[in-house]
Structure 1
Amino acid sequence: MQVFFPILYSTLSSLIADDSEDSYVLQTLIIKIFFSFVNHHFPLDAISKELFGHWIDAFCTVLDFKTVRPDASSSVWKGKKWALKILNRVLTRYGSPGAVIKRYQSFAEWYVKAFSGQIISVLLNICEAYRQKSFVSKPVLSQTLDYFSSALTHSFSWKLLRPHFSLLVREVIFPLMSYTEEDAELWQDDPIEYIRAEAGDWGSVSSPANAASTLLSEACVKRRGVLNNIMPFCIHILSSESSPAEKDAVLHMYTAIAEILLKKAAYKSQLESFLVGHVLPTLHAPEGYRRARAFRLLEKLSEAKFNDQNIFAQVVDEVRKAACFDSELPVRVFAALCLSELVRCQEAARQFVAPHLHELLMRLLDCLRQTEFDDLNNVIEVLIHSFEKEIVPIAAEIMQTLSDIFLHLANISGNGLPDESNDLGDTEDLFEYRSIVATSILDNMESVLQVGEDNGNLVAELEPIVVRLIQSIFNHNLSIFFDEALTFVFSLTTNKISPLLWQVFDHLYPVFKKDACECFSEMMPCLHNYITVDRDAFLANPSHIEQVTAMCSEVFSMDDEERLQMHAAKLLEVILIDYRGQVDPYVPKYVELALARLTRPLVSSELRTLCLQVVIAGLLYSPMDMLHMMVEHPWPGTEVTILSEFLKRWLQDADCFLGLHDRRLCVLGLCLIISLPADKRTDAISALGEKYIPALLQLFSGLKKAYATKASNQNEDDSSDEESESEEDLDGKALGSDEDEVDEESVRYLEMLEATVSFIMFIYFYL
């Protein structure tokens, strides 16, 4: 690169003078090469400081606005975009003193002082061009503001930027945060897409409005005095005869700094009067976008304290009504998001919502069906958990509606993808997005189930709805939702297993056959319930134990799946312990599976212990039959008996039995061995006679400690209160004009990451 970079720079310099589209294409290509060079790693010895300075000069020249083309697709804008990406990358990754690894610290100090003035001047010219109504592409404007957001953390850069910041707020940030014609078209033509873009759910990553919001927030948090300086401007706009769009922009600015206002005592105490004077009236504005903005701001200020509870009741009621009845879909959605935050943050809000809960939830579910907007799932979740008692009478209706919406979202064709696409993008993008929404719906259905888990009548009412859904997921092979379906099965089989759920059991083995590696871990708790909750029903149909046995056999035959084999071993052990005297034909098979796995290489000591426990459980189930079998056959590859090798491994691993159950099982097994009559005690058992008592003493000692730990854990209070960030914390974050932000924790992490990467590269190249 030391040879190549001077050639590239020379080529770029000559191209800059050429004002043709072909020249801009080549310039962009060279700039992208440089970006690739600095994107992940910057070898400082590959380029001299002098040449690096020339490159910065070239990038600043590319960013010059002497030639402006009002066409975002032109390569001239692509070149500017990539030049800005380089400047942002170098500043944030290598040029920020106090926030870079040791290798780049001296470079960072040199970079900030050597180039901040030049770069900030060029970027201010871009903002000036925007202020003068010249065309500036969205990515260029966004990254310009992103650079300012990063630069203001450095005192040297902030001194250069501070004199211009008030003008930036008034002439750049304020207009960018206004409601535009493009926003109006999107609202009118595709309100669902407007919702997603506004909420950042499906929005553009290069949005100038988002960049402006971030810059405003960062400046108010990081630099003292900025918040106080911009507030008079905001209040003036709100209090004067400004246009609706201008007032909306100010509320947008308030939304960006809402978190700071909640933590500054001087502003926190005035929030109630501000909301009454400027936000509540906007809830009835004739323009839908203004109503939506007011709800967005109210959502951010949901923790604001209301001294007048009548006003608070009015606020909650207005929000609820808008969520249910507003004529504009985006307003209903953003009012719903606001309401969930009010309910979550202020318990007093619940008394005003509870009488209308049924209607509210049905309206929200209808809105969810219409928009497929995942944030509404979060709203429904908050309401379910906040009104558990009130949910019970309407739980079945909620569950059925959620199920219907899920089935609509999961409507697939033969190729496994949705039948149609929509404005979200191509079919695969739509499928991925709908899958996220559908998963959240299943989570909410699980929440409703949890509400009724102690109400047998309610569970019986909900069960048919959930079972139909589970069967639909399995029958249509919707493998992406298998985990959630199996969670439902587990929940419904924990206390009682109905005939309907035994029908679900018949689906499990076919599901396992399709995708054993992916689903067996999630299936294991369900199988455990089926085995332990209703033993008579489990044994009543021979296919039940046959299917469990077949699944465990297949898992044990797999290579490199020790985690799954642990689950299988546990199931076999449970059957042997819980069904003593009832599953005689399967005992030799289970013991054989465990012994066979012990003869193959094992990585996990936990799996080894679990296999030993299966054999111990087999011995406890049928001592004489198992001992006879283990004496009659040799351990594979040796001349010693299975019993001799097994006892040796068992005693060697006595210290590996952990927990109460495992140790107790081991103790019972050893007690069985040493209590055998003399005529039943084989040579293999007698040969290890001196090791049984020490092993038992070790196990008893472990049991004593385990019981003590269990008692201690029951008495511990694990709850902890997280203290919210105080105003003093916020003031501590704010920086004076001569201070730099130093992120020591990030630096330590970067140093560790750098050392790890270096070690891996050394191993890869030299060993």
Structure 2
Amino acid sequence: MDVNELFSATLNPDPNVRKHAELQLRQAERTPGFMAAVLEAAASSQQNLAVQQAAAVYFKNRVSRSWEDDSSIPVQIALAADEKEMIKQRVVPILVSAPVSVRPQWTTVLNKILAQEFPEKWPGFMETTIQLLRNQGDLQSTYAGLVCLLEITRVYRWKSGDKRVELDQIIRETFPVLLEIGKGLVGQESVEAGEMLRLVLKIYKSSIGLELSRELQAPGSIVPWGSLFLQVVGKPLPEDDNGERDVTAWWKAKKWAYYSLNRLFERYGNPSTLSGAAVEQYDDFAQGFVEQFAPEILKAYLQQVELWIQRKIWLSKRCLQYTIHYLEACIKPKSTWVLLKPHVENLVSHFIFPQICLTDEDLESWEDDPAEYIHRKLDFFEDFSSTDFAAIEFLVALAQKRKKHTFMGILGFVNSTLTAQQAAGGAANPREKEGALRMVGALAHIILAKNSPVSGMMEGFFVSHVLPEFQSPHGFLRARACEMMNRFADLQFQDKNNLGIAYTSIINCMGDKEIPVRVEAALALQPMIQHPEIKNAMVSRIPQIMEQLLKLSNEIDVDALANVMEQFVEVFSEELTPFAVQLTESLRNTFLRIMQESVDQQKKFNPNDDFDASEYVDDKSLAALGVLNTIGTLILSLENTPEVLLQLENILLPVIQLILGNEVVDLYGEIFEIIDSCTFSSKMISPTMWQIFELLHKCFKDSGMDFIDEMLPCLDNFVSYGADSLRQNPTYLAAIIDIIQTVFSSDRLGAQDRICGCKLAEAVLLNLRGAADQYLQFFADQAMVRLTTPGEVKTADYRIYLLELVINCIYYNPAATLAVLEQRGYVQSFFNLWFTNIGSFSRVHDKKLSICAITALFSMPQEQVPASIQAGWPQLMQGLLTLFEGLPQAMKNREEMEKEIGNEDDFGDFGDTWGEDEWDEAAEEDEDVKDKDNEYLDFLSREADKLHSGTVTLGDEEEEFGVDDLEEEPLFETPLDKIDAYVLFRDLFSTLQQSQPQLYSGLTGRLSDREQALFQSIVNQAQVNARDENRTFNENRIQVIKQRTP
């Protein structure tokens, strides 16, 4: 069967014939000359069009798959060099003569080749393109030239600086010709002219995305190009009611004209938005553009808006969106604001408001696909390309940046609209009412701002216009009423009856027949718990509310619902404890359902479909992530119920197995937190958890190595709370050591990951005393090799953790560790590093570890201590006293951090939502608006400049930030926590004084008066601590006796 027959067979309605043809095509790929034959079939004008298309699609896919030799693609058959050269010679001539329906395939082929070959490996392509562009007598050639130039500009689309120097030359050579072509096309009406003009404008658009070349900044370029864009914007187009006008070539051309005008102004031509290096690069251009050109664009846009308001023209959604974005950009500069200002009232009432109101399409989505409606409309899956969100952003910008002139007018319009709707009774337009409420909700943070003149009026507004809508026959108004309560969560109701009505209404909406209403009710209920009255009222209902939330989350995947559940689990943990098992089972089932649906959808995904499977999977992943967070919060709330936790571990086993077994890396962080929470809360490792440990080890070796930082807390728990099992089961301990060895040896991992290795090794040394002797040399070697290799350790925190790994070895077994250091020649370098950095041991843990290690050294029989080390005993004593001198402050810092954690406000997220905003009308209303929008961007730009210039080095970073990186970790538990360092010190020197008086005298006899006083204060504190401990022990003992006495 020849090539033409093969492609014809792939179109056969018989699936067996199709499958056999596809198999033969795959087998033929290795045949010499096969790609040339396919090329002929795809390019032949004598060929049946369907067969030609099939061959072109195959050719495109083969080039996309095989142009690069990629070992990650299974059974890839790379294209030979002679095949590539043949394709490069043929592709442009074929594109010139290709039928319209086949052009997209050849364009994709061209795109793939240019991305890999241009300009270095295809130097003649630019000259070919220029020749095609100049052959304006042949439309096919000109069209092909435009396609070629567009694909060239796409090569440079995301390149900047020196990487796009060639593009500047290309612009100089081609854009004058391109401009003439565009000017010749704009006055025509044919579909072909529209398609070619679309390409002209898209070429320009592709060249200005990241940077604006100096050639395009020049007046000789910006004026004629800008005039062309304005001609396209204002060009009347014939009416077409087929519902697909926005995808026609002429409307796409208009879209790119709007885009380019907006991009020129918003990114390069607006001085108020320039930041960092862009100020120097574009300030001159921006000053001229904002004064001379931006006002002309605004006038043109306003003309189009007025025609739209009068219903004399139709505008596509993207053109409307770009118009609104441009109007928003005109708010801050004085030169455009003075032109925009007189039109604001008309724009808000007749242009912006209609965009905010619900459309027929919205209501159709509400009825037929409520999940889609929720994701598009209810503010937590915002569609930033839609006109309604663009209109909301414009409205908020007006009220914030030009408050004095616009804010009260906007509220006046809203009030008159709602009053008119209220008076209309049965003739009211519910869509306008919903749109007006949405406008108010968008301005909530301004309305409730500190010193706002209208915040005190809002309770009356809610009573008149919001609370009644909970009873509306229109579901979208009930949903909006819930959303308004969410937006105005910080509104303080003077009449608590009104707050009670709102709460009761939201509870009723939780059982509404419409899914979007139930979702909005759930989201509104969450912030209401900041009101004590509502929180108390919810206590008796919380199990039923959680049941409703779980049911709703099984009807629609919205990650915000999981956030609500997580908050409720945290706040109402005591009330939910009796239902913990049932709740966990429901959450597990919800998670497994979401994951199964995600897998099923991926299996159904057809690369040739328009359906965006990645977006679907992302939505599912977010919902699944939210469920896992809720499970984690629930587990932490059950810390004092070990028997319940054991049940939960078994319930969650399938979830953990699914994620780790199937390498769902997007959820690794959350599942590691759940394992951490289970083991930390129960303070033991169950048989179920040891099964999970085996999965963890395998996961680490397969795909989890890069997640060692997230995995560390649960691994630490396995060592800390499973020490007995590790002693009894060498396989488990070997797995822990294997992880540590891999972290230290893998080239994939860096300093931060090796810090995790140090922490895990420390857990082994502190918790498995006497059971880790065989690993002592390995730990000490790993640390000292890095500490003594020049340039290896570049941050202070890494250096401290490496030092502490050796210090841990000393504390574990001082004699064996000293022997290793002596054998390797590391003794002097280690002790020098230890006491050079002793001031950097800022945390309680750091100080106590060094104290324990030094006391262990002093406790050694002197005959086991090398003479070279004994000579440094006085310095070691001084270091010990230095550690104790800083210990009280470190303990105080830790206590303060523990208090901060304990005193965190449960409702902090709600209380601060709008509290930072203040009412300010002081700025001169018609001057340029200078605000804080760009301060952060300026900071980032300055930091980027430093990095690029090399003025920031790792050494600088270490000096400035290194010590501060070691912060207290109040939730981090180790066996050192149980050791009283003061008592340890007292007992050591008491023993030395009696058993080794010569050593005692050598250590204490050289102390200064200040050091003697410090020594005595440590002993005195030890006496106090010992008395307190005995008192506490006796009190606890008496309490136990009383409890046992009948």
Structure 1 length-normalised TM = 0.88
Further displaced range: 399-408 or 456-465: 456-465
Shift of the alpha carbon at 1:390? 2.2
1:66 maps to 236
Q: What corresponds to 2:458 in structure 1? A: 271
Pick aligned residue for 2:265 from 73, 91, 104: 91
- Note if contact 1:670-1:692 (Cα within 8 Å) is conserved in structure 2: no
Letter in 2 for 1:143: Y
User: What residue in structure 2 maps to residue 151 of structure 1?
Assistant: 330
Q: CA deviation at 1:151?
A: 0.3
Give the 3-state SS of the residue equivalent to 2:385 in structure 1: coil
Provide closer, same or farther for how the CA distance between residues 655 and 738 of structure 1 changes in structure 2, counting only shifts above 3 A. same
CA pair 99-609 structure 1, distance change in 2 beyond 3 A:
closer
Identify the residue that residue 161 of structure 1 maps to in structure 2. 340
Higher alpha-carbon Rg: 2
The yes-or-no answer on 1:603 pairing with 2:798 is no
State the shift of 1:705 in Å: 2.3
Q: 1:680, 1:580 → 2: CA distance? A: 20
Question: Is structure 2 residue 633 aligned with structure 1 residue 447?
Answer: yes
Cα deviation, residue 587, structure 1: 4.3
Moved more, 139-148 or 452-461: 452-461
Structure 2 unpaired stretches of 5+: 1-170, 952-1046
Offset of residue 583 of structure 1: 4.2
User: Residues 182-261 of structure 1 correspond to what in structure 2 (within 5 A)?
Assistant: 182-202=361-381, 204-223=383-402, 224-240=404-420, 241=424, 242-261=428-447
Question: Which has the higher mean CA deviation after the structures are superposed, 615-624 or 541-550?
Answer: 615-624
Identify the residue that residue 53 of structure 2 maps to in structure 1. Answer: none
Q: 1:342 to 1:759 in 2, by over 3 A?
A: closer
Does the 8 Å contact 1:497/1:533 carry over to 2?
yes
Distance 2:361 2:246 in 1: 15
- Does 2:934 align with 1:746? yes
Deviation by residue 1:214-235 (Cα, 9 ceiling, x = unmatched): 2222212222232322334333
User: After the TM superposition, which residues 170-569 of structure 1 pair with which residues of structure 2 at under 5 Å, given as runs?
Assistant: 170-202=349-381, 204-223=383-402, 224-240=404-420, 241=424, 242-263=428-449, 265-323=452-510, 325-344=511-530, 346-411=531-596, 418-419=602-603, 425-494=611-680, 495-559=683-747, 560-569=749-758
- Higher RCO (C-alpha 8 Å, min separation 6): 1
Following TM superposition, by how much is the alpha carbon of 1:361 offset from its aligned partner in structure 2, in angstroms?
Answer: 1.4
Distance 1:90 1:703, change over 3 A: farther
**In structure 2, what is the Cα distance between the partners aligned to 1:654 and 1:201?**
54
Matches within 5 A, 1:121-132: 121-132=299-310
- Distance in 2 between the 1:267 and 1:420 partners? 54
Q: Which moved more, 1:136-145 or 1:719-728?
A: 719-728
Which stretch shows the higher mean deviation, 234-243 or 172-181?
234-243
- Structure 2 match to 1:654: 835
Could you tell me how far apart the structure 2 residues matched to 1:20 and 1:746 are? 45
Deviation track 1:7-57 (CA, whole Å, cap 9, x = no partner) reads 333332222222222222232323233333433223446542243222222
- 1-structure distance, mates of 2:452, 2:604: 53
Match of 1:638 in 2: none
Which residue in the other structure is 1:636 paired with?
none
Q: Is the partner of 1:515 in helix, strand or coil?
A: helix
> Of residues 571, 580, 591 in structure 1, which corresponds to 2:760?
571
Q: Is the 8 A contact 1:62 1:83 kept in 2?
A: yes
Of 198, 209, 216, 1:28 maps to 198
State the distance in 2 between where 1:92 and 1:340 align: 38
Matches within 5 A, 1:129-148: 129-133=307-311, 134-148=313-327
Paired residues for 1:112-127 under 5 Å: 112-127=290-305
Distance (Å, rounded) in 1 between the aligned partners of 2:939 and 2:772: 59
Change beyond 3 A, Cα 1:372–1:76: same
**Residue number in structure 2 paired with 1:637:** none
Cα drift, residue 425 of structure 1:
4.0
Q: What secondary structure does 1:205 align onto?
A: coil
Structure 1, 133-142 or 456-465: larger mean CA deviation: 456-465
User: Does 2:255 match 1:81?
Assistant: yes
1:707 offset after TM fit, Å?
3.6
1:616-635 to 2 correspondences below 5 Å: 616-622=807-813
- Code of the aligned partner of 1:155: K
> Cα 1:549–1:229, aligned 2, differ >3 Å: closer, same or farther?
closer
SS at 2:502's partner residue? helix
Mean Cα deviation higher: 161-170 or 707-716:
707-716
State the Cα RMSD in Å.
Answer: 3.4
Which residue identity does 2:793 align to in structure 1?
A: V
**CA 1:467 to 1:47, structure 2 compared with 1: closer, same or farther past 3 Å?**
closer
* SS in structure 2 of the partner of residue 410 of structure 1: helix
* Distance in 2 separating the partners of 1:294 and 1:624: 73
Deviations along 1:432-477, one digit per CA (max 9) or x if unpaired, are 2211111111111111112222344543453432344323433444
Partner Cα distance (2:172, 2:583) in 1 = 67
Number of aligned residues: 746
Bigger drift between 749-758 and 529-538 goes to: 749-758
Amino acid corresponding to residue 673 of structure 2 in structure 1: T
Q: Describe the SS at the equivalent of 1:286.
A: coil
User: Structure 1, residues 132-159: CA drift from partner, whole Å, max 9, x if none?
Assistant: 3332100000110111111022232222
Q: For 1:146 and 1:361, locate their aligned partners in 2 and report how far apart those are by CA, in whole Å.
A: 41
> Which one-letter code corresponds to 1:374 in the other structure?
D
SS of residue in 1 equivalent to 2:631: helix
213, 221, 227: which one pairs with 1:51? 221
In the alignment, the residues of structure 1 paired with residue 779 and residue 950 of structure 2 have an alpha-carbon distance, to the nearest angstrom, of 48
Q: In 1, Cα distance between the equivalents of 2:655 and 2:345?
A: 57
Between stretches 277-286 and 611-620, larger displacement belongs to: 611-620
Choose 226-235 or 580-589, whichever is displaced more: 580-589
Counterpart CA distance in 1 for 2:629 and 2:939 is: 40
Q: For each residue in 1:478-519, what CA deviation from the matched residue of structure 2 results, as whole angstroms up to 9, or x when unmatched?
A: 333232222222222222333332333333222222124223
* TM-score relative to the length of structure 2: 0.66
Give the fraction of aligned pairs with identical amino acids, expressed as a percent: 26
Match of 2:234, SS state, is: coil
Comparing 261-270 with 283-292, greater Cα deviation is found at 261-270
Instruction: Determine the C-alpha separation between the residues in 1 that align with 2:855 and 2:579.
Output: 56
User: 2: distance between equivalents of 1:760 and 1:654?
Assistant: 36
Q: CA deviation at 1:551?
A: 2.3
DSSP-derived class of the 2:826 partner = helix
- Candidates 281, 289, 302, aligned match of 1:111: 289
